[in-house]
Structure 1
Amino acid sequence: MNWDDMRLFLGLARNGRVAFAAKGLKVDPTTLIRRVKKLEDSLNCKLFELTKRGYVLTSHGSELVTYIEKAEHYFLEAQNELSDERSHLAGTIRVSVSEGFGSWFLAPLLPEFKRQYPGICIELVATSGFLNLSKREADIAILLEKPGKGLLVTQKLTDYHLFLYTHENLITQDKPQTLQELEQFTLVSYVPDLVYAPQLKFIEETALSQLSALRSTSINAQYQMLMNGAGVGILPKFIAETTSGLARLAENDIHIRRTFWLASHKETYSQARFQAFTQWLVDKVKQHQHVFID
């Protein structure tokens, strides 16, 4: 076995289609198949099954992917440390994220990434909605749901909690403890028929839907309404508790958990600049885990 054979095997494993994988690996399709067959012979096991959907990993193939990806991670880490590869990485990474995560968590940290990797340009697309990875509208996406299809590499980034908040000035006396005590408040929430992801339809999970409302498609606009005394609303902890001013209400009734998923193209996942950004992001989320969950 040699590393180059394993690199080609990994490219086909992440793509499944010989023509696309070969193009990304910059080799001839015939060469790719021949090298993978050579690897199978050296290991004395079958790594792929050829199906109508392309080359699908066998159980042995899936096991080998796990080992190679571990080796790949340490190889890239060593390369960065020993040769200062970071200063030579260049290119653009377009990252599609939800408005809240992009504005409140990722954007403040990106200057640090830029100092570490000055040659990499990050295009942060933080909107109410997501770009389509499969159509190559973005290189990496941080999603509210694990993708169920497409030639993507996905991993769980983090869980995050949401609570009901209001401005502290509105509860100077008795703090409401139950949903029944909130009848006099205005609800700040999403516009129901313009919610771009089912994971954001949390108002329907509560009795809050009966309250008079102020609505917006923007989580940042909702935050501003609440900070200016509009009423009550559900926000992620990493937004509401970044600064002072908002207080939790009815925690026994409203304590919602959601998940962020990290996804990227199989074809480009192993490229150095994408590996660098992905590892940096995963490390930052781990370091700041307290802002996402209690």
Structure 2
Amino acid sequence: MNWDDMRLFLGLARNGRVAIAAKGLGVDPTTLIRRVKKLEDSLNCKLFELTKKGYVLTTQGSELVRYIEKAEHYFLEAQNELSDERSHLAGTIRVSVSEGFGSWFLAPLLPEFKRLYPGICIELVATSGFLNLNKREADMAILLEKPSKGLLVTQKLTDYSLYLYTHQSLVETRKPQTLQDLSQFNLVSYVPDLVYAPQLKFIEETALAQLSALRSTSINAQYQMLINGAGVGILPTFIAEANEGLVRLLDDDIHIKRTFWLATHKETHSQARFQAFTKWLIEKVTANQSRFMH
């Protein structure tokens, strides 16, 4: 037997009307009936009689409701106990992240984490540069390169894509078809001698280096330049494609892939609050994978 089938059965048993029960359960009526029939087949008995008043439980159906409600009681009891344990987690986690990931992905989601774990304080350090975990300047870090030194527990968080973007107002009459067509544009990019991580030196990987430039150490400043029509620039998809005004150019010629790595100090990695944050973060990144790679 499938627990989800039993959940749907219980919803219909408590309501009797397929359309109303299906809406409350978040499925369509056809699916609800099909899943209840599947449950009947697995139990080799009839659980409902269809009457003018709707679906009415048979004797076997009523007996099954009694057992499922017992299971539901224990499930809710366990859920409450785990929620209580979750609310007791406390302490501070200082997380060092790149400015882009911190501002555009993590910061908007942190209110949800705070609601789940009200006792945990998150200090988000989202700057152009990273704090040093080995010197204990931060508890956790989301890095652009897998650390090779120190007492750290590291794991790959996600790959992410970067493309060349410009504001749609600059290409309304003619969209560039080749790299040579970009000669009329300014290039929005990092300040070369102030780039804090080699993984951000992607201009050298393209034919853009010769363009007249507008530069900033801040990815957020670059984004603001681009949405205001400054020229062309390379941005991660999770930043650029949050704004419908930015359009992607020359996908086949300019497609860069980078990786985010999650690192925690070995001494604190196994502590409950760090485990809770790590699990939550990985779930969020997995659920939003289309924002990073497409």
TM-score band, normalised by shorter chain = 0.7 to 0.9
Distance 2:144 2:200 in 1: 9
> What residue number does 1:95 align with?
95
> What residue number does 2:33 align with?
none
Matched, 1:137 2:137: yes
Distance 1:214 1:148 in 2: 34
Tell me how far 1:84 sits from its aligned partner.
Answer: 2.7
Deviations, residues 221-260 of structure 1 (Å, cap 9, x unaligned): 0000000000000000000001211000111110000000
Matched, 1:175 2:175: yes
Name the aligned partner's letter for residue 144 of structure 1: L
Distance 2:227 2:83 in 1: 48
- Is the contact made by 1:186 and 1:212 (CA closer than 8 Å) also made in structure 2? yes
> What residue number does 1:258 align with?
258
CA change 1:111–1:83 in 2 (3 A) is: closer
Name the aligned partner's letter for residue 88 of structure 2: H
Matched, 1:166 2:130: no
> What residue number does 2:191 align with?
191
The count of corresponding residues between Structure 1 and Structure 2 is 217
Name the aligned partner's letter for residue 214 of structure 1: L
> What residue number does 2:289 align with?
289
Q: How does 1:1-294 map to 2 (within 5 A)?
A: 82=82, 84-294=84-294
Name the aligned partner's letter for residue 125 of structure 2: V
CA change 1:79–1:249 in 2 (3 A) is: same
- Is the contact made by 1:79 and 1:85 (CA closer than 8 Å) also made in structure 2? no
CA change 1:134–1:253 in 2 (3 A) is: same
Name the aligned partner's letter for residue 170 of structure 2: L
- Is the contact made by 1:133 and 1:265 (CA closer than 8 Å) also made in structure 2? yes
Distance 1:96 1:108 in 2: 16
> What residue number does 1:45 align with?
none
Tell me how far 1:86 sits from its aligned partner.
Answer: 0.8
Tell me how far 1:82 sits from its aligned partner.
Answer: 3.6
Deviations, residues 177-198 of structure 1 (Å, cap 9, x unaligned): 2211000000000000000000
Tell me how far 1:79 sits from its aligned partner.
Answer: 9.6
Distance 1:134 1:197 in 2: 18
Distance 1:282 1:124 in 2: 17
Name the aligned partner's letter for residue 290 of structure 2: H
Distance 1:288 1:243 in 2: 17
**Structure 2 gap segments, 5+ residues each:** 1-77
Deviations, residues 237-284 of structure 1 (Å, cap 9, x unaligned): 000001211000111110000000000010000000000000000000
Tell me how far 1:215 sits from its aligned partner.
Answer: 0.2
Tell me how far 1:207 sits from its aligned partner.
Answer: 1.0
Distance 1:182 1:195 in 2: 24
Of all paired residues, the percent bearing the same amino acid is: 82
Tell me how far 1:174 sits from its aligned partner.
Answer: 1.8
CA change 1:80–1:290 in 2 (3 A) is: farther
Distance 1:252 1:195 in 2: 26
> What residue number does 1:57 align with?
none
Distance 2:160 2:239 in 1: 11
- Is the contact made by 1:80 and 1:86 (CA closer than 8 Å) also made in structure 2? no
Distance 2:81 2:238 in 1: 32
> What residue number does 1:41 align with?
none
Deviations, residues 103-127 of structure 1 (Å, cap 9, x unaligned): 0000000000000000000000000
Distance 1:219 1:82 in 2: 40
- Is the contact made by 1:189 and 1:216 (CA closer than 8 Å) also made in structure 2? yes
Distance 1:173 1:159 in 2: 34
CA change 1:275–1:237 in 2 (3 A) is: same
Name the aligned partner's letter for residue 154 of structure 1: T
CA change 1:82–1:250 in 2 (3 A) is: same
Distance 1:159 1:81 in 2: 36
Deviations, residues 154-190 of structure 1 (Å, cap 9, x unaligned): 0000000000000000000221122110000000000
Q: TM-score, normalised by structure 2?
A: 0.72
